[in-house]
């Protein structure tokens, strides 16, 4: 009795702008049984070209890409009829990024810092037609939902702006700024600027190196 033929390897395209991270992902995935890295891209435009030319099963995609961001890459790929299923690997913790990625076509979402087991599990499950959210991404979605204006106020507070400065930046009254600020604190259960700043950094709302 002949042995059953082995299942074909899942074809993976790695889309990541940081060269050392991209090369590390390629090396790890290439050494994983059942996976075959068919290509890599370091920016959004190259990613779209590679998706069309290589027709991977799964695309592992960062969101912060030069040229076209990851959200635009996924949206354009879907509009062009690309059959690849996307797994996002991102530093962004905020629930809004998870929601935007899913809306753009992502089937999986992992935070950078996830282990290799989660990464390979996400690729395997997405390749099978399932969805995958890492524990960190699930936790992000469970965070209290802020309105767009509340996120703006939170971002400016975390950047060190006063209520008067935020009032001028957003063209609203200082009293309205204070109202939004109080609502943010109540929703998050955080009542000091340092805590709000840490939260904003964790959620990817601000870059701590640019403050």
The answer to whether 137 and 182 are in contact (CB under 8 A) is no
pTM beyond 0.75: the answer is: no
119-to-8, 9, 27 alpha-carbon distances in Å: 19, 16, 13
Is the Cβ–Cβ distance between 185 and 196 less than 8 Å?
yes
Q: What pLDDT, on the 0 to 100 scale, is given for residue 136?
A: 64
Helix axes 193-202, 148-158, angle to 10 degrees: 110
| DSSP at 98 | H
Please report the pLDDT score of residue 190 as a whole number: 85
Question: pLDDT tens per residue, the chain (211 residues)?
Answer: 455 556 789 999 999 999 999 999 999 999 999 999 999 999 999 999 999 999 999 999 999 999 899 999 999 999 999 999 999 999 887 777 888 888 888 999 998 888 889 999 999 999 999 999 876 666 655 566 788 899 999 999 999 999 999 999 999 999 999 999 999 988 888 888 888 888 888 777 776 554 4
pLDDT at res. 1: 47
Kindly report the number of other CB atoms within 10 A of residue 124's CB atom.
17
Are the beta carbons of 84 and 57 closer than 8 angstroms?
yes
Question: Which H helix or E strand runs over 102?
Answer: helix 95-104
105 torsion bin: left (phi>0), alpha (psi -120 to 50), beta (else): left
Distances (CA, A) of 192 to 130, 167, 195: 41, 19, 5
Q: Alpha-carbon distance 163 to 177, whole Å?
A: 6
Domains observed in the chain: 10-141 (3.40.50.2300), 148-210 (1.10.10.10)
β-sheet bridge partners, residue 40: 14
Residue 89 buriedness (CB in 10 A; 0-12 / 13-18 / 19+): buried
Taking the C-alpha atoms of residue 160 and residue 155, their distance in angstroms, rounded to an integer, is 9
**Phi, psi (deg, nearest 5) at residue 48:** -65, -40
Is there a contact between 49 and 80 (Cβ–Cβ < 8 Å)? no
CA-closest candidate to residue 88, choices 48, 55, 137: 137
pLDDT of residue 28: 94
């Amino acid at each position: 009795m002949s042995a059953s033929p082995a299942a074909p390897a899942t074809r993976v395209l790695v889309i990541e702008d940081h060269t050392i991270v991209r090369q590390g992902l390629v090396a790890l995935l290439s050494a994983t049984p059942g996976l075959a890295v068919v290509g890599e891209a370091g920016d959004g435009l190259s990613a779209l070209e590679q998706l069309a030319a290589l027709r991977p099963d799964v695309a592992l995609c960062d969101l912060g890409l030069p040229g076209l961001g990851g959200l635009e890459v996924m949206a354009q790929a879907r509009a062009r009829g690309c059959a690849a299923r996307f797994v996002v690997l991102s530093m962004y913790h905020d629930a809004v990024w998870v929601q935007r990625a899913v809306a753009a076509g992502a089937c999986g979402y992992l935070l950078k810092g996830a282990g290799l087991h989660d990464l390979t599990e996400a690729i395997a499950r997405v390749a099978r037609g399932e969805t995958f959210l890492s524990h960190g991404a699930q936790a992000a979605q469970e965070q209290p939902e802020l309105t767009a204006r509340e996120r703006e106020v939170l971002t400016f507070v975390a950047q060190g702006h006063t209520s008067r400065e935020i009032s001028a930046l957003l063209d609203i009254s200082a009293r309205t700024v204070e109202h939004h600020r109080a609502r943010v604190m109540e929703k998050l259960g955080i009542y000091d600027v340092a805590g709000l700043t840490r939260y904003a950094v964790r959620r990817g709302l601000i870059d701590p190196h640019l403050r």
